[in-house]
């Protein structure tokens, strides 16, 4: 039977590569998009040439607890239990801490960290009941090492790692693994939006002297989702060209 994966922020740079990879691996992917962004999501779906057997677009505001619980309960009634959840949706609001507004702090914490509660809780119970599930959270090298101008983002991304380790203990007894993929600087619109001189200086500090390709992040996700990843839980897999070695 075709396995079901749900990816938040699926049409973003890394999300899109993960969607394509899991489709290649035979999954049906529920690709979530932010409320009101249907036209953009549909354009992405058409450009990628997905079929409705491969990908279903699904509106979800990952910051809204009540709506996530309701929408994801409906989703499971329609499609059954999700086998693989990839919490990928994320934003940046970079600025030095001195200049950071409360809105810039809360937007990033809500979208990148509180979303893990909102999206994972409604799906985790059914995974446990089924005795099988994979949860893969997309953090960042900057959650591990910190980054000038990203106190909000680094806090959220580090929080995702603590969340994953704690939930890994709860999932282990019922066949659900919980892991993190921590990408380095990746060739996506989010990174390409950075000031060129700042980005060049960062790439210069990467031992491999290049950005990651989104497919390289997707491969790590596919590995953790596959049978080969069955005995790995509570782990953080860095894909960062040697930028930060723990």
3-state SS, 4-62, equals: EEEECCCCCHHHHHHHHHHHHCCCEEEEEECCCCHHHHHHHHHHHCCCCCCEEEEECCC
What angle separates helix 214-225 from helix 13-24, to the nearest 10 degrees? Answer: 50
* Residue 236 binds to ligand CAA (criterion: CB under 6 A): no
C-alpha to C-alpha distances, 73 to 29, 41, 119, nearest whole angstrom: 17, 22, 11
Q: Does 92 bind ligand CAA (CB under 6 A)?
A: yes
Q: Which is nearer to ligand CAA, 50 or 153 (CB)?
A: 153
For the question of residue 231 being annotated catalytic, the response is: no
Closer Cβ to ligand CAA, 141 or 180, answer by number: 141
Does residue number 147 form part of the binding site for ligand CAA (CB under 6 A)?
yes
Q: Which residue from 185, 211, 224, 233 is in contact with ligand CAA, where contact means CB under 6 A?
A: 185
Give yes or no for residue 191 binding ligand CAA (CB under 6 A).
yes
Least distance in Å: CB of 191 to ligand CAA? 5
Catalytic annotation, pick one of 33, 34, 153, 185:
153
124 interacts with ligand CAA by CB under 6 A: no
88 touches ligand CAA by CB under 6 A = no
**DSSP assignments along 67-117, one per residue:** HHHHHHHHHHHHH---SEEEE---------GGG--HHHHHHHHIIIIIHHH
Structure-token pair, residue 197: 């001189």
Percentages helix, strand, coil for the chain, rounded to the nearest 5? 50, 15, 35
Which one, 173 or 195, has the nearer CB to ligand CAA? Answer: 195
Tell me which residue has its CB nearest to ligand CAA. Answer: 149
The label of the residue with tokens 């993960």 reads 18
Among 20, 61, 83, 94, binds ligand CAA (CB under 6 A): 94
Stretch of 59-67, 108-116, 191-199, 204-212 contacting ligand CAA, by CB under 6 A: 191-199
Decide if residue 155 touches ligand CAA (CB under 6 A).
no
Q: Which two tokens stand for residue 186?
A: 């990746």
Q: Is 233 in the site for ligand CAA (CB under 6 A)?
A: no
Contact set with ligand CAA (CB under 6 A): 92, 94-96, 140-142, 147-150, 153, 185, 190-191, 194-195, 198, 202
């Amino acid at each position: 039977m075709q396995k079901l994966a749900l990816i938040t922020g699926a049409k973003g740079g890394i999300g899109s590569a993960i969607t394509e990879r899991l489709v290649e691996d035979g999954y049906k992917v529920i690709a979530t998009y932010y409320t009101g962004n249907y036209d953009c999501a549909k354009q992405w779906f058409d450009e990628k040439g997905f079929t409705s057997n491969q990908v279903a677009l699904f509106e979800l505001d990952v910051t809204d607890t009540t709506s996530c619980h309701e929408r994801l309960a409906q989703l499971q009634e329609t499609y059954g239990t999700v086998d693989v959840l990839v919490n990928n949706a994320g934003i940046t609001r970079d600025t030095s801490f001195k200049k950071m507004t409360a809105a810039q702090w809360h937007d990033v914490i809500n979208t990148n960290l509180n979303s893990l509660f909102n999206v994972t809780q409604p799906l985790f119970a059914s995974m446990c009941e089924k005795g099988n599930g994979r949860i893969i959270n997309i953090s960042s090298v900057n959650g591990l090492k910190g980054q000038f101008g990203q106190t909000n983002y680094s806090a959220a991304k580090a929080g995702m790692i603590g969340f994953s380790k704690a939930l890994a203990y709860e999932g282990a007894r019922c066949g659900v693994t919980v892991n993190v993929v921590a990408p380095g600087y990746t060739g996506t619109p989010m990174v390409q939006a950075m000031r060129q001189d700042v980005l060049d200086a960062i790439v210069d500090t990467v031992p491999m002297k290049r950005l990651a390709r989104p497919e390289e992040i997707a491969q790590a996700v596919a590995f953790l989702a596959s049978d080969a990843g069955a005995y790995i839980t509570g782990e953080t897999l860095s894909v960062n060209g040697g930028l930060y070695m723990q």
